[in-house]
Amino acid sequence: MNIAIDAAGGEYAPHEIVKGAVKAAQDYNVNITLVGRKDILYIQASRYLKKLDMQIVDASQTIEDDESPIEAVQNKPDSSIAVGISLVRAGEADAFVSAGNTGAVLYSALIGLGRIEGIERPAIGSIINVNITSPVLLIDAGANSNCRPDHLLQFAQLGNIYAREVMGIASPRVALLSNGEEETKGNRLTQTTHSLLKQTDLNFIGNVEGHGIAKGTADVIVTDGFTGNIVLKTLEALGDTFLRLRNVGQVFANVTHTESRHQLFDVGLSSLIKRIDYRESGGACLLGVNGDVIIAHGRSQAKAIRNAIGLAKQSVDRNVCQIIREFSAANSIRSTESVEAEEEQGPERP
Amino acid sequence: MNIAIDAAGGEYAPHEIVKGAVKAAQDYNVNITLVGRKDILYIQASRYLKKLDMQIVDASQTIEDDESPIEAVQNKPDSSIAVGISLVRAGEADAFVSAGNTGAVLYSALIGLGRIEGIERPAIGSIINVNITSPVLLIDAGANSNCRPDHLLQFAQLGNIYAREVMGIASPRVALLSNGEEETKGNRLTQTTHSLLKQTDLNFIGNVEGHGIAKGTADVIVTDGFTGNIVLKTLEALGDTFLRLRNVGQVFANVTHTESRHQLFDVGLSSLIKRIDYRESGGACLLGVNGDVIIAHGRSQAKAIRNAIGLAKQSVDRNVCQIIREFSAANSIRSTESVEAEEEQGPERP
């Protein structure tokens, strides 16, 4: 298996990306292709590898985080993102992992790999680990700002496949994010989606409120990409706040030579912070395109990159794309009746 | 000043409600009217007061949290919520505070007090204290699931008045919650709202993402009630998780007789947990109805009830309702052009 990684994307590129890639190659026994400026990556990789047994593919351009995704992809054909996606399309890589500009990865994947037939809106599935024993897949975590009920229905189906195949949950509990647990609660989008979800053979457990993300009562939580993105970033920000407090505490402990600690609390807290800290946790998956694409957080450090590559390996191992293709072919999940005029413009641009 | 309090609403009613009300009466020098079953409240109040100088108004019915708001309000004319609202309408109370069924309070206020002329959708403004130095007012925190851009514009104006008058911020920084900071980011609702907000004389600082709630970069964050409710509950759930960890840590510390602690950390953490803990923090305000109504969290304990009464006092002191009335009369904020047919059905039912 060969996994291409965007060595130019993210806040800590290329150093942490290369470090994480080297670790992943060892831990998961996969081949890695680093994508970025060859001269720089050669030096970086040489720091970690005695024998340079890692492929490097040159990409002369870098898309920055603050660039407009569509323009950047169009104006930089030799970006590390475009080159990485083209490796997957050409079959030279089995998956692509990037911590770069999310919109650019999304747009590049849409035009480079295309949507799986029958999938109207590829979506981002993000694994949230706030609950110790029960991680949850939030889908869509940010790809589609404006959604229709049939889009959310597809997100549920995509998320169900991913939770079953990659997260290893036999019968994923699928829930709809809303502002009330009762069927009648929600906005028009969720009310209609609720009735659609009830008609499927999914293990649909109904609506969950914002609490549901931490409660561990659902395995897949379905929402539109606008709400999903806001929830994800709200969680991140609170994690950041706790992380800062922990750091202040540690500095203080060092200064005062405090030795004994609230150990159990500290272990529990550190573990929780790690779980919601994107520097340590894995990435999110782009589901519904013809290829395995993992989106890592822009602030990913080596450990997160290693974990994201692990996630990519699992997706490839479990044949997620093929399973989605087969599901989509067997199930007419496209509800052509409700396709509005605007839909004819193609997938939403990031 | 006389503030009516729903002594039958909330998980800890009547005990914690009465306790908080007694504390508020002492701390804020206000008169309190307890609303609920007179026989029970008489006994409860006697536990805290040597001389019973607190008015009790009988309300024989209680609306439970899991009741459908509209049906409950219609079927229980003598509920503590309905009676409390009627005291405000009759001018016998200056404000009403309830930790009961939020939808029922909302619906009761809408039919009992009515909307301020020109205000299409009363909204819930919730003060979030995640950031130490800069609390933020999230509006709408849950009253309106389906919103139009002109509704969000009004929420911004209501929030601006409240932040200025009650929170004491001379020129509140008003932001729009979205999934990207750029003007072009967001869903259709926020994109149109953004352009409307730019045309006002509000101190509009643009979009904020989910991080914005903790960052302290905005004083008022505007969103629809669907998204606002989900964000609020996500924050609460994470606060709960941290609270549980702290409790585990304290038990462990007691068992092992650990004495020295990460003091600064602990102080900082406790302070943060308190700030996001609804058992301790104050309530949310219902803005846009003809009367001061404060909605406390269903799990409010005495301290939160005391604080919610404090919030009510501030609203009355600052004449918030009258200021909204004057603003609404002077500014034609109702955009009749965009009123859709559905609007003619009246305000959304909770």
Per-residue pLDDT tens for A273-330?
A: 666 666 666 689 999 999 999 999 998 999 999 999 999 999 999 999 999 999 999 9
Residue A136 lies in a domain: no
Residue B283 lies in a domain: no
Chain A contact set for B266 (CB, 8 A)? 249, 262
Residues B165 and B89 in one domain: no
pLDDT band at B143 (very low <50, low <70, confident <90, very high): very high
H-helix or E-strand spanning residue A220: strand A220-222
Under an 8 A CB cutoff, do B265 and A242 touch?
Answer: no
Chain B contact set for A246 (CB, 8 A)? 265
Chain A contact set for B235 (CB, 8 A)? 210, 234, 238
What's the pLDDT at B255? Answer: 45
Residue A180 lies in a domain: no
Q: Which residue has the tokens 């590559």?
A: A309
At position A16, the amino acid (one-letter code) is E
What's the pLDDT at B261? Answer: 42
Under an 8 A CB cutoff, do B187 and A224 touch?
Answer: yes
Query: What are the φ and ψ backbone dihedral angles of B31, each rounded to 5 degrees?
Result: -85, 140
pLDDT band at A240 (very low <50, low <70, confident <90, very high): confident
On average, the pLDDT of chain B sits at: 87
Residues B37 and B3 in one domain: yes
Output DSSP code: residue A35: E
- Separation between Cα atoms, residue A142 and residue A155, nearest integer Å: 12
Interval B145-165: pLDDT, tens: 999 999 999 999 999 999 999
- Separation between Cα atoms, residue A186 and residue A181, nearest integer Å: 9
Of A185, A226, A260, the CB nearest to B186: A226
Under an 8 A CB cutoff, do B249 and A229 touch?
Answer: no
DSSP string, B232-296: HHHHHHHHHHHHHHHHHHHHHHHHHT-----HHHHHHHHHHHHHH-TTTS--EEEESBSSEEEE-
User: Of A149-163, A217-231, B49-63, B139-153, where does mean pLDDT reach its minimum?
Assistant: B49-63
pLDDT band at B246 (very low <50, low <70, confident <90, very high): low
Among the listed residues B211, B252, B234, B135, the one whose alpha carbon sits nearest the alpha carbon of residue A269: B252
Dihedral Cα A195, A198, A199, A202, nearest 10 deg: 140
Q: Which residue of A has its CA nearest to B131?
A: A241
Under an 8 A CB cutoff, do B259 and A260 touch?
Answer: yes
User: What percent of chain B stands above pLDDT 70?
Assistant: 83
Residue A126 lies in a domain: no
Q: Chain B closest CA to A21's CA: distance in Å?
A: 29
Tokens of B245: 């960890």
Of B185, B262, B264, the CB nearest to A261: B262
Among the listed residues A140, A100, A328, the one whose alpha carbon sits nearest the alpha carbon of residue A230: A140
Q: Is the pLDDT of residue A255 over 80?
A: no
- Whether the CB-CB separation of A144 and A121 falls below 8 Å is answered with yes
Residues B53 and B168 in one domain: no
- CATH of residue B157's domain is 3.40.718.10
Q: Is the pLDDT of residue B325 over 90?
A: yes
Say which residue, B304 or A283, is predicted with more confidence: B304
- Separation between Cα atoms, residue A209 and residue B234, nearest integer Å: 8
What's the pLDDT at B235? Answer: 87
Residue A213 lies in a domain: no
User: Of A72-81, B12-21, B338-347, where does mean pLDDT reach its minimum?
Assistant: B338-347
Residues B11 and B97 in one domain: yes
Whole-complex ipTM = 0.86
What's the pLDDT at A134? Answer: 86
Residues B209 and B152 in one domain: yes
Residues B152 and B15 in one domain: no
Number of folded domains that form chain A = 1
Residue B188 lies in a domain: yes
H helices then E strands: how many in chain B?
12, 11
Residues B249 and B267 in one domain: yes
User: How far, in Å, are B148, B178, B207 from residue B182 at the CA level?
Assistant: 20, 9, 7
Residues B271 and B203 in one domain: yes
Say which residue, B254 or A245, is predicted with more confidence: A245
Under an 8 A CB cutoff, do A237 and B213 touch?
Answer: yes
Of B186, B238, B256, the CB nearest to A238: B238
Chain A contact set for B272 (CB, 8 A)? 241-242, 245
What's the pLDDT at B131? Answer: 79
Residues B246 and B346 in one domain: yes
User: How far, in Å, are A21, A136, A247, A291 from residue A324 at the CA level?
Assistant: 27, 20, 43, 11
Interval A135-189: pLDDT, tens: 899 999 999 999 999 999 999 999 999 999 999 999 999 999 999 998 888 999 9
Q: Which residue of B has its CA nearest to A226?
A: B179
Chain B contact set for A266 (CB, 8 A)? 249, 262
What's the pLDDT at B90? Answer: 98
Chain B contact set for A176 (CB, 8 A)? none
Chain B contact set for A248 (CB, 8 A)? 264-265, 268
On average, the pLDDT of chain A sits at: 87
User: Of A62-76, A88-102, B319-333, where does mean pLDDT reach its minimum?
Assistant: B319-333
Q: Chain B closest CA to A53's CA: distance in Å?
A: 40
Residue A67 lies in a domain: yes
What's the pLDDT at B214? Answer: 86
Tokens of B129: 């204290």
DSSP string, B97-149: EE-S-HHHHHHHHHHHT-BPTT-SS-EEEEEE--SSS--EEEE-SSS-SS--H
Residues B215 and B162 in one domain: yes
Count CA within 13 A, CB hemisphere, residue B246: 20
DSSP string, B70-86: HHHHHH-TTBHHHHHHH
Residues B68 and B183 in one domain: no
Interval B267-300: pLDDT, tens: 566 666 666 666 666 689 999 999 999 999 998 9
- Separation between Cα atoms, residue A349 and residue A106, nearest integer Å: 9
What's the pLDDT at A331? Answer: 84
Residues B228 and B342 in one domain: yes
Say which residue, B220 or A256, is predicted with more confidence: B220
Cα-only R_g, chain A: 20
Residue A92 lies in a domain: yes
Domain of residue B335 covers 123-278+320-350
Mean pLDDT of B54-63: 96
Predicted TM-score (pTM) of the model is: 0.88
